[in-house]
Structure 1
Amino acid sequence: MTNNEDITGLEAIFLAALDSNVRFITAVAGYPMTAVADYFFENKDPSNCNNYNIHWFTNEKAAMEAALGASVTGRRSMVMVKHVGMNVLSDPLMTAMMHTIGSGLVILAGDDPAAKASQNEQDSRFYGAIAETAVFDPATPRDAYDSLSRAFELSEEAKVPVIMRITDRLEKEKQKVSRSQINSKAKQEEKLLDRDIWKLTMHGKHQRFHIESEPILIHEAENSRSNHISINSDKVGIISSGYPSLIVDEILSTQVVYSSYSHLGLGMVTPFPVELIKSFIEKHERILVVEESEAFIESQIRTGCDSILGKRTGHLPFGMTEKEHVEFAFENIDNDKVSKYTDIQTILSRGSRPICSDCPFMPLYNILHDIQPVAGDMGCSIRTAPDPLNAVDTGFALGGAISTACGFPGKGIAVIGDFGLAHSGIIGLINAVDAGFDILAIILQNDVAAMTGGQSAPDLKGVVTSLVSDTTCINIDEMQDLEGKEACSENIKDMIQKKLNTKGVSVIYIEGKCTKN
């Protein structure tokens, strides 16, 4: 790619990583991060000995810990996860803030406003506040390039991991981007962990963070080049962050009626830039906050101020922010409250996204229709929860089905995919065996993470059989070929009933080939 050409946000992220001399990358598949990781895998240059190493991981905590290992030994590293993966890696992240690191470490968090392909719609910006670290929230490909480049530098200056939040729309947006020169200093200097940190107590490490690291992060937030401000009048000021900033800029530049509105686009949202925002608010009579998915900025500035408008006042919906939403908010800027976004989306109103009709595990799902309760896991099986299948009843977290079933009365049933088992479900199985629970774990093995792009899933059958003596393995494709679908269903039904009549932990391994991967 040449300098100053139209590129996507995804390409801008890739170039910023190259130009920042990233050497070690870990990734966990999941929308919208799979596309980013795939691009890095596809464009890796094996002939370049100084190129990055990238690895798929099945678990975000492990991915974060590996990146920390690279950082403390002098290699800039990056972790790619979707927003729910932030929950899993938060354990080492919290400690890393006080522990300190070596070379720059950036967590690329892919958020999913509107929950197009996720079990929830959480907002990764909150992890900046919880962990007390910096969060960049770029609006355009140019912002993404500049923010990621700066994030690695800031990570090294403050000796902490830094987060950059992205969304699918940012990945696809196109813009001219000028590449800076590759940071030769970063290539020459490998920053290692300073072991003097072990002279401090745990409390002392926390004190050191607030005295030495936090002021660096606060100064960056208040003065970041990622923040963009234009003061046009003293009546209306817009505060935004992330992709919605691009929407605001487009409306302000093309619709004359709103051209007098001022705009503060935050490219860095934590630490919260209190003084910058306070100064902007004081210059305007009314403030509209445009953001997605949650009211992260709005909730921090609404206290004691009736002129703050946004999601809490009904001017904008929770979740994804579209152009028509912002235009509606502008049209109602003189109203303190509005009542528009009161509909709750249903599967009927959105449109069904059922499991594939030719899924090899359909005979099982038809059987589970008549059994309750059944703990489901995140993955394809969660699509069997609604009508007409009603096969599983819960779906809390990837890898969580087995532990959920431990809380059911009698002998609980869990349905979990092989990728979910490798992610964290194996821990639930270990606990179930150790604590003596009565459960039946039905493990669906298709050897891929089917919903996230077909990444390979580890085969843990040997581990499972060593843990659970009552393990039965069948190949559902072969069984249907030999016995027919009706006989296959009856055999599986009888097998389930037999396991339910047996005390302790039981496992049924069902192998089948995914028709889409």
Structure 2
Amino acid sequence: MNSTDRNIGTSELTGLEALYFALIDSKVEMVTGVAGFPVTAVMNYFEKNLGSDIPTLWMTNEKVALEAALGASISGKRALVLTKHVGMNVLSDPLVTAVTHTIGAGVVIIAGDDPGVRASQNEQDSRWYGEVAEVAVFDPSNPDAAYSSLTRAFELSESTKTPVIVRITDRLEKATGPVTRSDNFRKTEVTFDRSIWELTMRGKHQHFHINVQPLLVDEAENTSLTRSVKAGKTGIISSGYPSLLVDELLSEKQLEVSHLSLNVVSPPPIRKLRDFISDHEKVLVVEESEAFIESHISICGNVLGKMTGHLPYGRIEKEQIGFAIENFDKEKITEYTFIETIKGRGSRSLCEDCLFMPVYRMLHDLNILIAGDMGCSIRSAPAPLEAVDVGFALGAAISTAIGFDKKSVAVIGDFGLSHSGIVGLINAIENKRDVLVMVLDNRTAAMTGGQSTPDLTDAVKALCDDVTVFEFNDPEVAGSRIGELEELVRDKLSVKGVSVIYVRADCVLYR
């Protein structure tokens, strides 16, 4: 199929393809995104297949990505934002405000979660942002549910005048199944109603709770996307990709276990959950990554899940669900005590031929605190390199280093600098802090697929008086110049104020 194919029917699609056709059928007019697993694959697919018909804009920062989508919404254009779970933290500021500010045309955020932490700095569950921001969250389980969730999310966004979150995972993107497309969607004519400014900020929140929240609760309780099968005295409540695993297991084992598969998980459908729980002697909650649903119903007493030890936190596998079912009779179990180590899993270090490798070895030998950043440098923290000591968030290295008790090094990539690190640099200069910023500049977002990055060299020079550009691109020259670079670093560490050293070298993966 392609974007002009309007033969509506049922086709075997992947979850990724289902999201693409939902975007097409929903008449979305702008897509913004920030690279990161697992949404990079989604953005790449959209970019490849949409061509120039619909703008697909790679952004350096999730806050900006959502704000651009909100601007499109205000002017009557449906917009989609793609971000990985940690990006939800960055865009949460405009998200929370947008709910009571109200919007125009539909805005949907696809939040890509990473259960099992395959390619992220933490294991985080985006469903909690439904409660933080008071927005609806869809958690589809298969390609057909992904299609229906995204198309419905745009409709709900417009009827409630709020953004809506659709949570996905890598396994949902790759899952295959029949998907039924619909031709009932019309181009939206919704624009922003500025009469909301007749209300105070408190009044806007009151308006939300009186007029909007009931619509969200009704959606959660009565959505046709929820599936329920009554089959025994014990039951399973699930959401997201684990629902597919539950379906497969119950079918393979021919188990008489009821199954309530939720699609809208925020607001939690409390009435539906209570009714299901009261009909069963024991209920198991199967979900990724945190005990989100379970935490809302654990007070009922007959609920099992992560909090009782029946399932692990994070990624869920089919055999773990089977084990939990076998232990329905136990109130608590202690099965999942394994703690993963780098030694046990195997190291994921830098590329062996990375041109920055001598730089990391030099940093190790400085014997001072080194603030790292998300991206390649975070892989230099464990042995054998042990170059950087801390790494909290993308763009955080400079801000972290200005809190150290003496002048130290902040190692940041060019993407991290443009994402949010530049703000840390501004604060370091404004507050006259002592810090040496080393920008490892390969003009590439190497950890997220090789996207190009903006060149901020001139902007940095305009901000800071002490900027040195150090070319490190030739492997033969790099080895001989490392002593020169180390001398420069030690010299800059001995003077007060903010110093910046740009170390430039091509990324060996993407040059």
Q: TM-score range by the shorter chain?
A: over 0.9
Name 2:201's counterpart in structure 1.
202
Distance between the aligned counterparts of 1:341 and 1:272, measured in 2?
Answer: 27
Name 2:121's counterpart in structure 1.
119
Name 2:21's counterpart in structure 1.
15
Name 1:248's counterpart in structure 2.
246
Corresponding residue SS for 1:338? coil
TM-score, normalized by length of structure 2?
Answer: 0.97
Instruction: Verify the 8 A CA contact 1:222 1:275 in the aligned structure 2.
Output: yes
Corresponding residue SS for 1:166? strand
Q: Which amino acid aligns with 2:495?
A: T
Distance between the aligned counterparts of 1:263 and 1:468, measured in 2?
Answer: 61
Q: Find out whether 1:464 has 2:460 as its counterpart.
A: yes
Name 1:220's counterpart in structure 2.
219
Name 2:84's counterpart in structure 1.
82
After superposition, what is the alpha-carbon deviation per residue over 1:369-403, rounded to whole angstroms, capped at 9, x for unaligned? 12321000000010000000000011100000000
Selected match of 1:507 from 491, 500, 504: 500
Corresponding residue SS for 1:80? strand
Corresponding residue SS for 1:176? strand
Alignment of 1:166-315 (within 5 A): 166-181=168-183, 183-184=185-186, 187=187, 189-233=188-232, 235-256=233-254, 258=255, 260-303=256-299, 305-315=300-310
Instruction: Verify the 8 A CA contact 1:442 1:508 in the aligned structure 2.
Output: yes
Distance between the aligned counterparts of 2:115 and 2:51, measured in 1?
Answer: 33
Instruction: Verify the 8 A CA contact 1:363 1:488 in the aligned structure 2.
Output: no
1:131 is displaced (CA, Å) by 0.7
After superposition, what is the alpha-carbon deviation per residue over 1:282-334, rounded to whole angstroms, capped at 9, x for unaligned? 0001010000100001111112x331100011110000001111111111111
Distance between the aligned counterparts of 1:105 and 1:116, measured in 2?
Answer: 28
Q: Which amino acid aligns with 2:412?
A: I
Distance between the aligned counterparts of 2:140 and 2:212, measured in 1?
Answer: 23
Name 1:40's counterpart in structure 2.
46
Distance between the aligned counterparts of 1:33 and 1:227, measured in 2?
Answer: 25
Name 1:102's counterpart in structure 2.
104
Corresponding residue SS for 2:172? helix
Q: Which sections of structure 1, spanning at least 5 residues, go unmatched?
A: none
Corresponding residue SS for 1:477? coil
Name 2:402's counterpart in structure 1.
406
Alignment of 1:127-138 (within 5 A): 127-138=129-140
Selected match of 1:149 from 145, 151, 156: 151
1:105 is displaced (CA, Å) by 0.5
Instruction: Verify the 8 A CA contact 1:96 1:161 in the aligned structure 2.
Output: yes
Selected match of 1:476 from 443, 457, 472: 472
Name 1:395's counterpart in structure 2.
391
1:347 is displaced (CA, Å) by 0.8
Distance between the aligned counterparts of 1:143 and 1:249, measured in 2?
Answer: 14
Corresponding residue SS for 2:469? strand
Distance between the aligned counterparts of 2:74 and 2:271, measured in 1?
Answer: 34
Distance between the aligned counterparts of 2:429 and 2:179, measured in 1?
Answer: 55
After superposition, what is the alpha-carbon deviation per residue over 1:215-252, rounded to whole angstroms, capped at 9, x for unaligned? 1100000011121111112x211000000000001111
1:70 is displaced (CA, Å) by 0.3
Distance between the aligned counterparts of 2:78 and 2:462, measured in 1?
Answer: 39
Q: Which sections of structure 2, spanning at least 5 residues, go unmatched?
A: 2-6
Corresponding residue SS for 2:509? coil
Selected match of 1:494 from 487, 491, 496: 487
Distance between the aligned counterparts of 2:16 and 2:297, measured in 1?
Answer: 32
Instruction: Verify the 8 A CA contact 1:137 1:269 in the aligned structure 2.
Output: yes
TM-score, normalized by length of structure 1?
Answer: 0.96
Distance between the aligned counterparts of 2:154 and 2:174, measured in 1?
Answer: 23
Name 1:516's counterpart in structure 2.
509
Distance between the aligned counterparts of 2:476 and 2:56, measured in 1?
Answer: 40
Instruction: Verify the 8 A CA contact 1:444 1:511 in the aligned structure 2.
Output: yes
Give structure 1 regions of 4+ aligned residues with deviation exceeding 3 angstroms: none
Alignment of 1:33-72 (within 5 A): 33-46=39-52, 51-72=53-74
Q: Which amino acid aligns with 1:489?
A: I
Instruction: Verify the 8 A CA contact 1:21 1:182 in the aligned structure 2.
Output: no
1:182 is displaced (CA, Å) by 5.2
Q: Find out whether 1:330 has 2:328 as its counterpart.
A: no
Q: Which amino acid aligns with 2:15?
A: G
Q: Which amino acid aligns with 2:304?
A: L
Instruction: Verify the 8 A CA contact 1:126 1:296 in the aligned structure 2.
Output: yes
Instruction: Verify the 8 A CA contact 1:406 1:439 in the aligned structure 2.
Output: yes
Q: Find out whether 1:352 has 2:350 as its counterpart.
A: no
Distance between the aligned counterparts of 2:408 and 2:139, measured in 1?
Answer: 43
Percent of pairs with identical residues: 56
After superposition, what is the alpha-carbon deviation per residue over 1:430-467, rounded to whole angstroms, capped at 9, x for unaligned? 00000000000000110010000000010000011111
Aligned residues: 503
Corresponding residue SS for 2:50? coil
Corresponding residue SS for 1:440? strand
Q: Which amino acid aligns with 1:293?
A: S
Q: Which amino acid aligns with 2:13?
A: I
Instruction: Verify the 8 A CA contact 1:20 1:182 in the aligned structure 2.
Output: no
Name 2:357's counterpart in structure 1.
362
Distance between the aligned counterparts of 1:507 and 1:45, measured in 2?
Answer: 39
Instruction: Verify the 8 A CA contact 1:23 1:76 in the aligned structure 2.
Output: yes
1:500 is displaced (CA, Å) by 0.2
Distance between the aligned counterparts of 1:222 and 1:196, measured in 2?
Answer: 30
1:81 is displaced (CA, Å) by 0.2
Alignment of 1:419-430 (within 5 A): 419-430=415-426
Q: Find out whether 1:4 has 2:10 as its counterpart.
A: yes
Corresponding residue SS for 1:344? coil
Selected match of 2:312 from 309, 317, 323: 317
After superposition, what is the alpha-carbon deviation per residue over 1:352-377, rounded to whole angstroms, capped at 9, x for unaligned? 11110111111110011123210000
Distance between the aligned counterparts of 1:176 and 1:239, measured in 2?
Answer: 23
1:350 is displaced (CA, Å) by 1.4
Distance between the aligned counterparts of 1:4 and 1:25, measured in 2?
Answer: 25
